[in-house]
């Protein structure tokens, strides 16, 4: 029996260490009432095994792979896809949402592990804009606000999310599978990665980056492309968006038709729409 006070800490530590050593990592404590009367109802089981002291289940050493749908943390019911195949031996993914993982592709076995009050499935269902706010608020938690290792990881995560939000992808969830992205969305994901590089003298060619964008969002994409240009790179856009055309430094009109009927330079324009060379090949001789 130990009377708990500041000066008795070393003795409490030795007692807990002795109990867990003799009982394979498990122990139990009780509160003693007046006159050395043991309060049986106050008993609490504790463990140093990182698991449940009541059922005996012990977590393995946590690893990032447990929280990835592409690794050992994938849902066993949908194999990490998030959707179920209605027939066996199908390579085509159905639209039937996997209820076990709520469409995240993540195993429900690890939902007991929480970060900031949310399990990993709930976090994966957040939009990128919501995820930015969630990660930003984690430093309000006492164990994390002074943890420099966490703060460095937090800053890196926020930088990556901010780049995706900057190219108008803040509505995407991190549970979204790559193959479900449209062509324009996939290009903007790559653009977000490019913006993080400090390369110079690189030629970037983007095919329809305005695809799927509302006119009000096109200007933000344009500003992101200007960052690449200001770093000393060349950016070529294959696009029909009026905003891009009016703001381009150099416009090249190819034709006269599309696909096999294209390939000829019909006209070229400098910034401001000044025509410098009309019908270079007259639509007859393919550009060499």
pLDDT given at position 93:
52
pLDDT given at position 124:
92
Tens digit of each residue's pLDDT (9 = 90 or more) over 116-155: 999 999 999 999 999 999 999 998 888 888 889 999 999 9
Secondary structure (DSSP) of the chain:
----SGGGHHHHHHHHHHHHHHTTTEEEEEEEEGGGEEEEEEEEEEESSSB-TTT--BPPPP-GGGG-TTTTTB-TTTTTSSEE-SSTT--S--SEE-TTTTTS-B-GGGTT-EETTEEHHHHHTSBHHHHHHHHHGGGGSHHHHT-HHHHHHHHHHHHHHHHHHHTT-TT-BTT--GGGS-HHHHHHHHHHHHHT----S-EEEEE-TTTT--HHHHHHHHHHHHHHHHTT-EEEEE---HHHHHH-SEEEEEESSSGGG--EEEEEEETTS-EEEETSSTTTSPP-
pLDDT given at position 107:
92
Tens digit of each residue's pLDDT (9 = 90 or more) over 162-179: 989 888 889 999 888 887
Question: What share of the chain in percent tops pLDDT 90?
Answer: 19
* Length in residues, the chain: 288
Mean pLDDT of 69-82: 89
Tens digit of each residue's pLDDT (9 = 90 or more) over 153-163: 999 999 999 98
Question: What share of the chain in percent tops pLDDT 70?
Answer: 83
Mean pLDDT of 67-96: 76
pTM, whole model, 2 decimals? 0.64
């Amino acid at each position: 029996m130990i009377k708990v006070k500041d000066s008795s800490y070393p003795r409490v530590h030795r007692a807990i260490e002795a109990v867990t050593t003799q009982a394979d990592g498990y122990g139990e404590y009780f509160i003693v009432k007046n006159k050395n009367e043991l309060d049986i109802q106050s008993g609490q089981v504790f463990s140093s095994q990182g698991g449940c002291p009541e059922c005996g289940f012990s977590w393995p050493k946590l690893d990032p792979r447990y929280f990835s749908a592409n690794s050992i943390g994938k849902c066993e019911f949908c194999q990490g896809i998030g959707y179920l195949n209605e027939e066996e031996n199908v390579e085509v993914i159905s639209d039937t949402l996997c209820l076990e993982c709520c469409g995240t592709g993540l195993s429900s076995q690890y939902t007991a592990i929480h970060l900031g009050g949310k399990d990993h499935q709930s976090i994966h269902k957040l939009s990128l804009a919501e995820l930015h706010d969630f990660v930003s608020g984690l430093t309000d938690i006492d164990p994390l606000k002074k943890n420099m290792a966490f703060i460095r990881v937090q800053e890196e995560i926020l930088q990556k999310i901010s780049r995706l939000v900057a190219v108008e992808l803040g509505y995407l969830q991190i549970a979204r599978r790559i193959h479900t992205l449209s062509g324009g969305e996939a290009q903007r994901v790559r653009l977000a990665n490019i913006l993080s590089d400090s390369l110079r003298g690189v030629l970037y060619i983007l095919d329809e980056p305005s695809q799927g964008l509302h006119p009000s969002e096109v200007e933000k994409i344009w500003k992101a492309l200007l960052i690449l240009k200001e770093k000393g790179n060349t950016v070529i856009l294959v696009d029909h968006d009026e905003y891009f055309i009016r703001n381009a430094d150099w416009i090249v009109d190819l034709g006269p038709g599309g696909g096999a009927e294209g390939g000829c330079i019909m006209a070229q324009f400098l910034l401001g729409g000044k025509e410098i060379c009309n019908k270079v090949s007259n639509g007859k001789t393919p550009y060499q």
